[in-house]
Structure 1
């Protein structure tokens, strides 16, 4: 395929991905395997490998990163993602990714959330072929391709890179994992419309221990997320929902009554896996803030 035509096709794929990701947040393997673009079906994920190299394309279309896989994919330098060479495939898989690097072709990073569910991050770019360490360096943003030394950013570049990485990788991945753990419903009221749900931090991500782990997250509808952030709503370490005492005394229509006041004393809906349930020590710390505000 002509490189210009391929670039146009890749952009069309990204445009259609925008619609799919806006609607679903994440994508299943089946959706990625049968992705329709203007009446044509494209496979965006390989059957069995962590890299998708279509025969009729000059370069790699997607790479998959599995936190529990055998390859040491990781974030490095505050701005880059390391993608290890595939073992024994230098003439094939690595060659196609090398061509994507040489031709400056954008592609997709698929972050595995749970089996068969992925977060697409795109467009990303291979900006270095680190042969000494048997890896490619992947930039998560177009502007990061032009920095002089990606592994040694100046302070301004580093702040920008950290913000981009947080926006494009950490926040969507955190949301995806929390949504899956809570079965796409609000932990307070059980509303199950994905577009009305947020992944809320128990301990703010602005604090050093406000990590992007599922046990530091809650799936909350937008009204309960706002109420939680403002300490109108609290959650005890025993998973009980509490409402600010002053708010309980107010009279202000059905939204206040049914949306907040009637949640007082309700048991929180939590994930099935113990490892994904809200950490009680985190809830206890945050609950102290709620009690002070009350």
Structure 2
């Protein structure tokens, strides 16, 4: 190992965090499987997020928080990859703290599930769910907003002090832009979420009905971008061995896009209308497939970058 290589303790910490993400994804999959296996008739919820309202809740919330934390603290190889992963990690944290309203599927009689419109099958209406979880959501989400605001303030002050004390060796324009983009994206997300949170007491607000779904969709989209950026970084490398990683990253990105379009797009146009189970569980299927591919991506990148240090920007 050359003198420029990261110290063993840094590499071990890096690997521990990355392996931890893989572990919690596996734990979430096992917990959901156990919940399905232990249900009276093997019922599967219509979305992975709906398991928030089951005994899987601690694993579901914990897994998303850990994955989000890891994406934030792990450095990307480029400033753009780092910004994308930071924002994705923040959004996944929001997904963990603001639950979906799709909670009633497995409480319905088996003969009714998926046979009539949602508006006629809701035994637990949205307002009841919102009110039942309002206090917990308010406490956790307000804490998130405060912590993110304090972190952004600390980063801004530290960056200013570092810049003023740099003397004759100021940071490069590229590095300043890199940190500024990440900070601005996180600050913008903080402002948007803070404004939406002002209406949290309104059962019909965007915060209660849209924040969970949109945060999850954007986070997955950002992760796909991160996979593509990883492939692009390897494609520009001089080592012929990098080409295999381009193929692996390309496969994962392509598979995530393909299955998202196939399942959700097919569901939107009625492709699965003759398959009752698939039609009712399109969201669950696409979420399960995408989180599995996120795990595959994380494994591939862990192996790919196992001996590399922090980026140079």
Q: TM-score range by the shorter chain?
A: under 0.3
Q: Relative to total residues, which structure has the larger helix share, 1 or 2?
A: 2
Q: TM-score, normalised by structure 2?
A: 0.23
Q: TM-score, normalised by structure 1?
A: 0.24
Larger relative contact order (Cα-Cα within 8 Å, sequence gap ≥ 6): 2
